[in-house]
Structure 1
Amino acid sequence: MASPPVRPRRRADAERSIARIVSAARMTLGVHPDATIDDIAKAAGVGRMTLYGHFANRAELVEAALVEALRCGEEVLAAVDLTGNARQALTRLLHSSWTLVAESMALLEAAEGTLPAGRIRELHAAPSARMEELIRRGQADGDFRSDLPTSWLISVVHYVLHGAAAEIRAGRMPANPAGTVTATVQSILTVPAPDENGPA
C-alpha cells in the first residue's frame, strides 16, 4: 500500500535566505524607515528576484521585520522580574522596555507608514498586556493612581517611551535617558495627594 504523500519541507537554504533578508530588513529599517526593497536586498546580499520569491511586497517584509523584533523583545521582557512591589517592578520593566523601544523606533516608524494601525496594535498585544497587568496590580495595591482610566495610563506610558525615542532621534535628548523616562512614568502613576482644601 502506497504511503501518503509527504508535504515537502522548505529547503534549508531558503530558510537561511529568509532569515538573512528579515535580519537585513530589521537593520536597514532600524536606521532608515524609508528604506526601499532594493536597499534591503543589497544589505541582505540577495537579488530582487530572490527577495520577491519570499516576500510579495514591502509591507510583508516590514511586518516580518517587526514580528522578529517583537519576538526578540518578548524574550527580554519575559525574563524581567515583575514580582514584589509594583513600583519597583515597573522600574525594572521600564528599563528593559525603554532599550527595546529605542532600538526599534525607526522600524516602528516604517511599520506605521506601511501597516494598518490595528495590525500594529495586534502585534504589540503581549507587551501591552504585561504593562496593563502590572499597572492594575499596582492600582489594586494602592501603589498607582486609580482616579484615571487604566487604558489611558497605559497609553501615556507608551507616549512617553516613544516620545523619548523621537527626542533622541531629533538630538534633543541624551542617548540613554532611561532614568528620565522612568522618573516621568513613575510621576504620572503616583497616587495624587488628597486635596487639602477638601470638597467645595
Structure 2
Amino acid sequence: MASQTRPRRRADAERSIARIVAAARACLSENPDATIEAIAAEAGVGRMTLYGHFKTRAELVDAALADALEVGDAKLAGIDLSGDPTEALGRLLASSWDLVAESAALLEAAQGLLPAGRLRELHASPAKRMEDLIRRGQREGAFRTDLPLPWLVSAVHYLLHGAAEQLRAGNLTEANVGRVATETVQSVLRGPAT
C-alpha cells in the first residue's frame, strides 16, 4: 500500500511545483515585485505549500526565470538562422520579442536576489545563439568588427531588455516596440555610416 501512495504523492508534488512556477512566471512578468501571497493565490495553493517547495523567494524566482528561459530557448532553437545575417537577425528578434518582454520582468525580479554568475548561467544558451549569429555576420561583412564581440552581444541584450522596460513604462507600445528594438539593434551591429 505504501508503494502505491508514494508515486501518487510525488506526482501531486510535481503538479503543484509546475502550478507554482507557472503562477510565478505570470505574476512576476506582470509585476516584478509580486508578493509570495499573490503567487500562491494564482497557483491555487497556500503559502505553506509554496514554501514547502521553494524555501525562499530567490529559489522561486530562479525557478520561474529558468523555466521561462528554457521554454524560450526551445522556441528559438527552431528559428532558421541561415542565409543573410541581417535577415536572420530580424527573424530571431521578431520571434523572440514576447520572450524578451517576459524575461526582462523576471530578470528585474531576480536582480539583487540571484548572484550575477547565476544570471549569466541562465542566459548562456540565448547569448551563445546571438554570439554565433553576430560572429557569422562579422565574418560575412554584415556586422561591424571594430568592437569586441562580447560587448556587442551584451549591447543587444541590454537594448532588448531596455525596450521591454520602455514598453512597461508606456514609452513604447505593443505596436511599435518590436520594430523599434529591431531597428536599434541592427543599427548598432551595422556600425556608424561611412
Q: 1:131 to 1:13 in 2, by over 3 A?
A: same
User: Structure 2 length normalisation: TM-score?
Assistant: 0.91
Instruction: Tell me how many residue pairs correspond in the alignment.
Output: 187
User: Structure 1 length normalisation: TM-score?
Assistant: 0.88
Shift, 1:192, TM fit: 4.4
Where does residue 52 of structure 1 map in the other structure?
51
Stretches (4+) displaced over 4 A: 191-194
AA in 2 matched with 1:16? R
**RMSD, aligned CA:** 1.5
Q: Are 1:152 and 2:131 an aligned pair?
A: no
Q: 1:148 to 1:15 in 2, by over 3 A?
A: same
Where does residue 94 of structure 1 map in the other structure?
93
Q: Are 1:119 and 2:118 an aligned pair?
A: yes
Higher helix share: 2
Shift, 1:38, TM fit: 1.5
Residue-by-residue CA offset, 1:58-98 (whole Å, 9 max, x unaligned): 11011000011011101111011001111110110111222
AA in 2 matched with 1:189? L
Shift, 1:191, TM fit: 5.1
Q: Are 1:180 and 2:185 an aligned pair?
A: no
Where does residue 71 of structure 1 map in the other structure?
70
- Taking the aligned partners of 1:109 and 1:191, their CA distance within structure 2 comes to 29
Computing the radius of gyration from Cα coordinates, the structure with the larger value is 1
- Give secondary structure in 2 for the equivalent of 1:11: helix
The range that moved more, 131-140 or 28-37, is 28-37
Q: Which runs of 5+ in 1 are unaligned?
A: 1-7, 195-200
- Taking the aligned partners of 2:48 and 2:193, their CA distance within structure 1 comes to 63
- Give secondary structure in 2 for the equivalent of 1:146: coil
* Paired-residue identity, %: 64
- Cα contact 1:94–1:182 (8 A) shared by 2: yes
Q: Which runs of 5+ in 2 are unaligned?
A: 1-5
